[in-house]
Structure 1
Amino acid sequence: MKTSGEPSWISDLNEEEIEFIKFFILSSGSIKELATIYSTSYPTLRKQLDKLIQKIRISERKENDNIIQLIQQLEKEGRIDQEIADTVVQEYGKSLNCLIVD
């Protein structure tokens, strides 16, 4: 679940993805320059960037998803415990992550 005021999509990223975003910003959004930093081709980095975009969109979708909001509401009301709520949300999130295409 969301922590410390940061957007939830950030907590869904791994260290490698956060580093990619950092270098993307430092290269002023130039995939060409990023390709030089990573010593790889433009199409490879474009594909990686597209996958990251999909991951962020799915994360935002999860945040606004009615099922997740329902589970969180049930947990707030004490109708299910936090561990069950977290497990259901996490597993549901995994199923949404399957929407990311390579």
Structure 2
Amino acid sequence: MGLEVIPEWIINLDDEDVSFIKKFILASGSLKEIAKQYNVTYPTVRLRLDRLIQKIQVNDDFESDPYIALIKRLAINEKIDFDTAKMLIGEYKKIKGKV
């Protein structure tokens, strides 16, 4: 048996995200159960899952355009606001289209 290939999207997650995924799977995908385990509300867990989904999607975007993926990652991690991210991506696409 050869070395197993670990998908890029998993490698780019931090340990906390991987732990969340493991707990989510072991809880059979029950967000209510995860909320109990973390001692937080259901909406908090839902937000955490949504951000994790975005991180995975951004990794997929990176392969097609690293700059856009960077801007999305900054917005997901709340380093820049969503409106600024949209504006930067829009301007970048305009400039890129002219090249």
Please give the TM-score of this superposition, normalised by the length of structure 1. Answer: 0.64
Identify the residue that residue 7 of structure 2 maps to in structure 1. 7
Residues of 1 paired with 2:18 and 2:35: CA distance?
16
1:23 aligned partner, one-letter code: K
Identify the residue that residue 62 of structure 2 maps to in structure 1. 62
Unaligned 5+ runs, structure 2: 79-99
Please give the TM-score of this superposition, normalised by the length of structure 2. Answer: 0.66
Unaligned 5+ runs, structure 1: 69-91
What is the identity percentage for the equivalent residue pairs of Structure 1 and Structure 2?
A: 43
More helix by share: 2
Of structures 1 and 2, the one scoring higher in RCO (CA 8 A, sep 6+) is 1
Q: Does 1:95 align with 2:74?
A: no
SS in 1 for 2:76: coil
Identify the residue that residue 21 of structure 1 maps to in structure 2. 21
Over aligned residue pairs, what C-alpha RMSD do you find?
1.9
Deviation at 1:94, TM superposition (A): 3.2
SS in 1 for 2:6: coil
